[in-house]
Amino acid sequence: MNMTPQGSKIEQSDKQVRHIVALSGGKDSSALAVYMRGKIPNVEYVFCDTGEELDETYE
C-alpha cells in the first residue's frame, strides 16, 4: 500500500492506468507533451478544437 504526501493510504487497483495529456496548442502544453512522451509509454493526447484557435496553433 502506498501513501500520499499527506499520509493518506492509496490502495492498489488491478485497473489499467491511462496517461492523458490535454494540449492547448501553446508552448507550455507542447513542452509537457514532449516531456511526457519521453517519460511515460503509451501517453494519449487530447486537443479540443473550439474553432477559435490562432492560425499558429495549426502549424
* Tens digits of residue pLDDT in 14-57: 778 888 888 887 889 889 888 888 888 888 999 888 888 888 77
- Cα angle 53, 55, 56 (rounded to 5 degrees) comes to 100
Residue pair 50/24 in contact (Cβ under 8 Å)? The answer is no
- What does DSSP say about strands 9-10 and 20-23: parallel, antiparallel, or unpaired? unpaired
Whether pTM exceeds 0.85: no
Q: Please tell me the distance from the alpha carbon of residue 5 to that of residue 33, in angstroms, as a whole number.
A: 25
